[in-house]
Amino acid sequence: MTPEVATRATVGGVTALTVRDATADDLPAVAAIYTHYVVRTTMTFNTQVRTPREWMERFEMEIREGPYHLLVAELDGVVRGYVESQRFRPKPAYARSLELSIYVDPEATGTGAGGALYGELFRRLEGTTYHRAYSIIALPNDDSLRFHERWGFVHRGTLTEAGYKFGRYLDVAYYERAL
């Protein structure tokens, strides 16, 4: 993948928001953002934090050497969010479908980082062989549902009590977007 600076917003001549390809150096910041959601929320069904080695192996195999994206949003030079595309399902017939995951540092919600990340990712996916994008959203999460609907995702179904975290069963909604 060719590194590319994607999106910049300027305020008073100073760059405030940048979306770009992640590098290996960004993985600790990406991991810190994701770890918050793993240990403090039900927004991901992961219950164990990924190790630095797991992050690096995933980055090397699926991003650097593979067909998927990992973009980061920087606010004033600090990574405050990321979006990743990944295989939707392992069977070959799903090869033209992607699952997307997007996370923004809780201190950076409402800054436009999430929208900038999706905007750049969808720009990059235009004209590729990918046909559909899926977002699997743990419920309840009204903010994420509204965000995805603004980006053209359509609710395709809900699995009830599909996950169990923090002592309770949780539903998960499947959202789809044509590419």
Give the model confidence (pLDDT) of 30-40 as tens digits: 999 999 999 99
Lowest mean per-residue pLDDT among 2-6, 143-147, 148-152, 153-157: 2-6
Cβ(1)–Cβ(15) under 8 Å?
no
Q: Give strand pairing partners of 70.
A: 84
pLDDT at 11 over 90: no
Report the pLDDT averaged over residues 38-52.
Answer: 95
Kindly report, residue by residue over 110-129, the tens digit of the pLDDT: 999 999 999 999 999 999 99
pTM of the entire predicted model: 0.89
- Domain ranges for the chain, please list them: 5-135
| CATH class of the 5-135 domain in this structure | alpha beta
Chain centre to alpha carbon of residue 65: 19
Angle CA 178–55–145, to nearest 5: 35
Computed on alpha carbons and rounded to an integer, the radius of gyration of the chain in Å comes to: 16
